[in-house]
Structure 1
Amino acid sequence: MDYNRGNLFAKRLYKYMRMRDLTLNRVAKLSGLTASTLNNIINRSSSSRVDTIYRVCNGLHTSVRDFFDFPPYNEVEE
């Protein structure tokens, strides 16, 4: 399956938001970030830094490993 890797963080974040009935503002608050930071990442005007990803995962009470445990991240390329 062909995925646009640059948009995977946003897609995964929205999935967690839907599953937990959270808004972007709430995720930002739980993560100790501003909503504009998450908006910039989602709208691709900036890239997600490792520390930002860690903070979002921490705010969602999930590990980075679990957050990215989905195709294509867990598929082995041949």
Structure 2
Amino acid sequence: MEFDHGKLFTDRLYKYMRDRNLTLNRVATLSNITASTLNNIVNRGSAPRIDTIYKICDGLDISVRDFFDFPPYNEVEE
């Protein structure tokens, strides 16, 4: 089964942003990345590098594991 990982990542990021009432610019600042980097990921579908994922999770004060703890990533294949 194929997944649009970019869309899954963006949807999950927006969920955390809504829950915490954060803007993209604020997430970028908290994550110590440029706003243009985050905008490219969200608006252009650019795949984030692993170090960028870690920075975003750090900025949101969550673990990478928690960030990706949702279907389809946490489903067990049988």
TM-score normalised to the size of structure 2? 0.90
CA drift of 1:45 comes to 4.7
Listed as ranges, the matches of 1:39-50 within 5 Å are 39-50=39-50
Report the identity percentage.
71
CA drift of 1:77 comes to 2.6
Structure 1: 5+ residue stretches without partners: none
Cα separation, 2, equivalents of 1:5 and 1:31: 20
Question: Are 2:64 and 1:61 aligned?
Answer: no
State how many pairs are aligned.
Answer: 77
Could you say what the CA RMSD is over the residues aligned between the two structures, in angstroms? 1.5
Listed as ranges, the matches of 1:22-33 within 5 Å are 22-33=22-33
Instruction: Tell whether the 8 Å contact from 2:7 to 2:45 is kept in structure 1 after alignment.
Output: no
CA drift of 1:4 comes to 2.6
CA drift of 1:42 comes to 1.0
Partner secondary structure for residue 52 of structure 2: helix
Structure 2: 5+ residue stretches without partners: none
Partner secondary structure for residue 43 of structure 1: helix
TM-score normalised to the size of structure 1? 0.90
Say if 1:27 and 1:11 are closer, same or farther in 2 by CA, change over 3 A: same
